[in-house]
Structure 1
Amino acid sequence: MSEFKYVIIDGLVKSGKTRLAEILAKTFNSRLILDNTENPFLNDYYHSLASSGNAMALKTQLIFLLNRYSQQVEITQKGLFQKTTVSDYIFFRDGIYAHLMLNDEELEIYKKIYNVFSQSVVSPDLVVYLQISFTEMVRRIQQKGTEIEKSVPGEYWREVFEAYNYYFFNYRSTPLLVVNMEKVDLNKKSDVQNLVKEIKNHKKGTRYYAPA
C-alpha cells in the first residue's frame, strides 16, 4: 500500500470502521489516527434527542469539529508523507451531523468555522466506505452500543443512515471503495485478506465490493 500515503476508512455507526483501520495500520505498519469521540456534551445531546429537542447540538458539534481539526493539524505537523497514515474518519463528513443537528442560525456559525478549518485539511489518497443496511445498523447498535445510544429514537438513526449514504454515494473527490460489510467478516482471516487486496488494488473512481 506504499502508493497510498493517506487512507481513510469511514462508515455508519457500528460498521467496523475502527476495527478495519486498526487492521490496516497493523498490516502495513502505518500510523493510525482514530476519531476523538470524547465530548462532554454528547450524553446530554443524546438525552435531548430522546426528550425535547437539540439544545446541546451546537456545543456538541463544535467540540467534535475542534477535536478533528486538531488531529488534522497533528497529521500535517508530523509529516504526513513520511509514513502511510490510516484513519477511521474523513474530516469532510463532519458536516453530515451538523446539517442534521443544527438549526439554521447554528448552522451558519458552524459553517464559518468549518470553512476556515477545511482549507488546510489534507485530502486522502483513498476512502473506503463501509456500508450496512439500516436494519443491520440498528441491530448492531442494540447489540453493541452504549445504553444512551440504544435510547436514541429510531428516526434519528434513520436520518443518519440516509445522510451518510447520500454523502458517500455523491462523493467524487478521491478514489472511493464502497464495501458491503454484511458480506465481510473481519474475524475471518480470508475475508480480511481479500478485502485488503481490494483496497490495495483500487486506484481510481468508485468501486463496489460485495463478495458472494
Structure 2
Amino acid sequence: MTQKIATHMGAQVLLEQPESNPFLEKFYADPARYALSTQMFFLLKRINQLRSLAQGEMFEATTAVAADFLLDKDPIFANLTLANDELKLYQQLYDQLRPQVLSPDLVIYLQAEPGTLLERIKKRGIPMEAGITPEYLKRLCESYSRFFYDYEAAPLLIVNNEHMDLSGSDADFDLLLARIDSMRGKREFFNRGE
C-alpha cells in the first residue's frame, strides 16, 4: 500500500524491509533468545534511514516521502518481546540514538481484529510467520490501540481495515485516497463497513 500511495503522490518511498533483518527468522523460531537482536536491528535500520533522509542523502528536501514505518511506534514491539533488562538497554539506546526528525504530514493507522490479521498472515504464506499466535496478535493490537489513542505528533487517520483490501482492490484504495483528501481534522476515522 505504501508503494501505491507513493506512486499516487509522486513521492519517494521509504520501506521497512523486514526481509533484510538477519535475526527475524530466528526470532520467530526462538523469540526469547532473538528478541533483542531483532529489535536492535530494526531500530538501527530505521534510524539510519531517517538520518539519511534528514541529511538529504536519499531524497531532495522538496520531495514528498511515503514510509511504511513510524519510528515513534518502535517501542511497541520492544515492550512486547523484550525481557525487563533488555527493555532497559533498548530504551537507553533508543533515547540516545533517536534522531530529531520532522513529524509526518499524516499517519495512517490500519486497524483490524487479531483474527483477521492471523488469516491475512496465513494467506501470505511466509513460512517464518507460521508460529505467530492469536495471543501475540491480540497483545500487539492492544498495544497499537493504546499508542495511537495518545498519539498527537501528527494528523492521524485511523482506518478500519477489517473489510478492505487496500493492496489488491483499486476501489478500496480509491476510497482511502478520497478520505485522505477530505481529511480536515487532526484525528479522523474511516470505516467503510462491509
**What TM-score do you get using the length of structure 2 for normalisation?**
0.89
Amino acid at match of 2:13: L
- Would you say 1:190 and 2:171 are equivalent positions? yes
Distance 1:171 1:77 in 2: 26
Residue of structure 1 in register with 2:85 after alignment? 105
* Alignment check: 8 A CA contact 1:175 1:202 kept: no
Select 1:200's aligned residue among 163, 181, 184.
181
Select 1:137's aligned residue among 114, 117, 127.
117
Q: What count of residue pairs does the alignment treat as equivalent? A: 189
Tell me the SS of whatever aligns to 2:130.
Answer: helix
Distance 2:62 2:15 in 1: 19
Distance 2:161 2:133 in 1: 24
- Would you say 1:41 and 2:23 are equivalent positions? yes
Matches within 5 A, 1:1-212: 20-37=1-18, 38-49=20-31, 54-78=32-56, 81-186=61-166, 187-212=168-193
Amino acid at match of 2:43: L
* Alignment check: 8 A CA contact 2:14 2:67 kept: yes
Task: Work out which structure has the larger RCO, using CA pairs closer than 8 Å and 6 or more positions apart in sequence.
Answer: 1
Structure 1 runs of 4+ off > 4 angstroms? none
* Alignment check: 8 A CA contact 1:35 1:88 kept: yes
Aligned-pair RMSD on alpha carbons?
Answer: 1.7
**What TM-score do you get using the length of structure 1 for normalisation?**
0.82
Distance 2:128 2:173 in 1: 31
Amino acid at match of 1:127: V
Distance 1:127 1:22 in 2: 15
Distance 1:190 1:140 in 2: 19
* Alignment check: 8 A CA contact 1:41 1:59 kept: yes
1:62-101 CA deviation, whole Å, 9 max, x = no partner? 1110000011011112256411110011111110011111
* Alignment check: 8 A CA contact 2:79 2:87 kept: yes
Question: What 5-or-longer segments of structure 1 have no aligned partner?
Answer: 1-19
* Alignment check: 8 A CA contact 1:30 1:84 kept: yes
1:133-174 CA deviation, whole Å, 9 max, x = no partner? 111011111111411211233322222122112212221221
> Measured at CA, do residues 157 and 28 of structure 1 come closer, stay the same or move farther in structure 2, by a change above 3 Å?
same
What's the % identity of the aligned pairs?
30
> Measured at CA, do residues 177 and 159 of structure 1 come closer, stay the same or move farther in structure 2, by a change above 3 Å?
same
> Measured at CA, do residues 34 and 98 of structure 1 come closer, stay the same or move farther in structure 2, by a change above 3 Å?
same
* Structure 1, 115-124 or 56-65: larger mean CA deviation: 115-124
1:87-134 CA deviation, whole Å, 9 max, x = no partner? 011111110011111111111111111112324232211101111111
> Measured at CA, do residues 65 and 173 of structure 1 come closer, stay the same or move farther in structure 2, by a change above 3 Å?
same
* Alignment check: 8 A CA contact 2:164 2:172 kept: yes
Amino acid at match of 2:22: P
Distance 1:121 1:158 in 2: 30
Distance 1:152 1:134 in 2: 11
Tell me the SS of whatever aligns to 1:199.
Answer: helix
* Alignment check: 8 A CA contact 1:35 1:68 kept: yes
Tell me the SS of whatever aligns to 1:192.
Answer: helix
Amino acid at match of 1:194: L
